[in-house]
């Protein structure tokens, strides 16, 4: 059997708990939460601009890469708290430019920094597999399927142009068989 390419919701919780007390806690909590909840690719997260995060309207303007369809997602209360905590820290750093996530050097966050952080938090959380950023995108798809979202809704949410990229999330989900034989 191939190694699993996604994290479960419980593993996401453990990963988020592992961030507590870290040097970049506010940034990394916000980063991981947004990557998971909105199915962001690492390049989409690193390229996120301040004007894409609208806390007043409680929405995230997701600009998809790789030819994906860009969308606007609602922001939940815990995401808004994480965003506000990060923006407070970010303002203290006084970075130049409009990029949302910055490094300790006040430059745009690099994908290698995200890779290293996730690897570290995965180890701290004692997760059974090596964690990498794309696992958060897959975790989003599976979590949406677990909540009963249909394939088309997940396709739109993740910005997939081809539904074949989306069916993996619902095809293996046992929840879709729950109502059978009642």
- State the burial class of residue 132 (Cβ atoms within 10 Å of its Cβ: 0-12, 13-18, 19+): middle
Contacts of 116 (CB under 8 A, 6+ apart): none
Closest CA to 151 of 135, 171, 136: 171
Q: Give the dihedral of Cα atoms 169, 174, 179, 180; nearest 10 deg.
A: 110
> DSSP of 35-73, one letter per residue?
HHHHT--HHHHHT-BGGGEETTTTEEEE---TTPPPEEE
- Distance, in Å, from the CA atom of 138 to the CA atom of 122, rounded to the nearest integer, reads 16
Q: Under DSSP, is residue 74 helix (H, G, I), strand (E, B) or coil? A: strand
Q: Which of the residues are catalytic?
A: 41, 66, 134, 137, 160, 169
């Amino acid at each position: 059997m191939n190694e699993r390419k996604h994290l479960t919701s419980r593993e996401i919780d453990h990963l988020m708990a592992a961030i507590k007390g870290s040097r970049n806690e506010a940034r990394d909590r916000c980063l991981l939460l947004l990557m998971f909840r909105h199915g962001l690719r690492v390049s989409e997260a690193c390229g996120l601009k301040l004007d894409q995060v609208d806390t007043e309207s409680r929405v995230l303007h997701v600009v998809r890469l790789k030819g994906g369809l860009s969308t606007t997602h609602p922001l939940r209360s815990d995401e808004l708290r994480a965003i506000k905590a990060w923006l407070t820290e970010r303002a203290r750093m006084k970075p130049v430019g409009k990029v949302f996530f910055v490094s300790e050097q006040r430059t745009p966050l690099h994908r290698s920094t995200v890779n290293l952080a996730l690897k570290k938090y995965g180890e701290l959380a004692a997760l059974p597999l090596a964690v990498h950023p794309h696992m958060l995108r897959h975790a989003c798809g599976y979590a949406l399927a677990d909540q009963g979202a249909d394939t088309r809704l997940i396709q739109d949410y993740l910005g997939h142009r081809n539904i074949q990229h989306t069916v993996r999330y619902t095809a293996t989900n046992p929840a879709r068989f729950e109502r059978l034989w009642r």
